Amino acid sequence: MPNIDLLDTAQVSSVVKRHKLVGMIGKEKKWDIGVSPSVPNSRNPIRTTLELITSQPPNPINGPTRSLINLGLGDPTHYPLHPPPEGAIDAITRALKSGKANGYLPGAGSLQARSAVVDYHERWDGVTHGVGQGLDLILSVLIPHQTVQKCNVLLPRPGFAQYATLLANLGTDVRYYDLLEEQGWEIDLSSLEDSIDGGTKAIILTNPSNPCGSNYSRSHLQALLDIAEQHKVPIISDEIYGHMTWDKPFVPLASLSRSVPIITLAGLSKRFLVPGWRFGWVCLHDPLCLATKVREGMHVWANRFMGPNSLVQAALPDILATPGSWFKVVMDKIQLNAHILTTAINTIPGLSCAAPSGALYMLVKIDSSRLHMSDIDFCTSLYREEALFVLPGICFEAPGYFRAVLSTPADVMQDVALRLRAFCHRHGGKVCI
Ligand SMILES: *Cc1c(COP(=O)(O)O)cnc(C)c1O
């Protein structure tokens, strides 16, 4: 571009004309910055429902000063239940002060962090496997774009809403398989098998379950593996709540599979009580080397970004070495809360639940013949009248239920039981004892 100061007027007018002409060729172009049609489908139903229920502040019937109890968000630091492991905090501090953990690392994670994950699974699960990064990562690698091939993924119902949210972007079909409340939320295996066809790319399993609080037996997991083997479908096993169980031990799916490729997801958010540290991992257990392409694909995909957080990776060997006694203290607290709430709920007319045995949650059934309201109405009125927030089942494809989070101090849980009882008493057809 010539310097306008040095041009005579004729030159200036020709420069101006040229600029105007560019904008006037044909019809004037309008701004049109659109978004992908996947955007509306990618909305997180939990956030939307939360805004709906809490749009008006609570006005508790038993006094406006009553404090709000939030059992809605699956964040164990909300109250907090228990501080994170001291060793983990020390290790992060050391990594930070060392000045050696500030740089970019390989997309799939540092060697040191990856071998710490391998050791962790060896110690807790009795399995070894390679390591990658993220649910989004594995879904993006595993599922062809819809323009290439029509395919589907099987999700649990009730289940974690984020799976469908992530899948929306990939244009794949989502199919649900049912979980059966009367069988401790086990999988309805025949409904699952009926949903499988030639386009099924993966079955997603959440064990222990959010929102059901279930923990599957070895034989039930084996039955699932038999179906996957027969139809040659890999399983993505979300074990973010792995080992957060009581009553019976947790069985990692990969420890049972002799053929079916298992992609296990785990991380620090729940078991180590640090969801804000944003750290998890993917393990590929592939005894017959059937998914070598997936392993390579995950490495390629992982390098689209500059890899996970360097501080957490540097501290990971120490974080994952947290002693079993620390986990035991946390699990005893969650189990006590589960016991308090299950006992209370099963004596409140209008509510019932299967006793949870893992994760951080329980799913409670609202008897509509007695309480005459939808789960959304129940949760909205409970919030307004009792200042108690729980999430309606519709957030988890489970209308007619609500989910309660079990990571409060026990005395808060006693208060939760009282508020639920008072609410159901007021709205129920029959008088509570
Ligand atoms: C909380 C949760 C996760 C993962 O959380 P991150 O913080 O993203 O690691 C994954 N699956 C389920 C079922 C969860 O409840």
For the chain, list the domains and their CATH numbers: 43-82+324-428 (3.90.1150.10), 86-319 (3.40.640.10)
Q: b/e string for 53-89 if b means 16 or more Cβ within 10 A?
A: bbeeebebeeeeebeebbbbebbbbeeebbebbebbe
Taking only the tens of pLDDT, the chain with its 433 residues reads: 334 444 444 454 554 455 555 555 567 888 877 777 777 777 788 888 988 999 988 988 877 678 899 998 888 888 888 999 999 999 999 999 998 888 878 777 888 888 898 889 888 876 655 444 467 778 888 888 777 788 999 999 999 988 988 888 788 899 999 999 999 999 999 999 999 999 999 999 999 999 999 999 999 999 999 999 999 999 999 999 999 999 999 999 999 999 999 999 999 999 999 988 888 898 899 999 999 888 888 888 877 777 788 899 999 999 999 999 999 999 999 999 999 999 999 999 999 999 999 999 999 999 999 999 999 999 999 999 999 999 999 999 999 999 999 999 999 999 999 999 999 999 986 544 4
**Most ligand 1 atoms within 8 A of CB, residue of 238, 282, 395 to mutate:** 238
By the 8 A CB rule, do 74 and 209 touch? no
Q: What is the pLDDT of residue 65?
A: 72
Of all protein residues, the one whose alpha carbon is nearest to atom 2 of ligand 1 is: 240
Q: What is the pLDDT of residue 5?
A: 44
Q: Which atom of ligand 1 is nearest to the CA of 160?
A: 13
Q: What is the pLDDT of residue 212?
A: 98
Of all protein residues, the one whose alpha carbon is nearest to atom 3 of ligand 1 is: 240
Q: What is the pLDDT of residue 194?
A: 97
Q: What is the pLDDT of residue 136?
A: 75
Is the CB of 280 inside a 6 Å radius of any atom of ligand 1?
yes
Region of 157 (left: φ > 0; alpha: ψ -120 to 50; beta: rest) is: beta
3-state secondary structure of 152: strand
Q: What is the pLDDT of residue 295?
A: 85
Is the CB of 186 inside a 6 Å radius of any atom of ligand 1?
no
End-to-end CA distance of the chain: 86
Ligand 1 centroid to Cα of residue 240, in Å, is 6
Is the CB of 407 inside a 6 Å radius of any atom of ligand 1?
no
CA 267/CA 121 separation, integer angstroms: 11
Q: Token digits for 150?
A: 């029509």
Q: What is the pLDDT of residue 257?
A: 96
Q: What is the pLDDT of residue 13?
A: 52
Note the pTM of the prediction, 2 decimals. Answer: 0.85
Is the CB of 160 inside a 6 Å radius of any atom of ligand 1?
yes
CA 138/CA 293 separation, integer angstroms: 12
3-state secondary structure of 351: strand
Give which of 423, 88, 51, 99 is closest to 271, Cα–Cα: 88
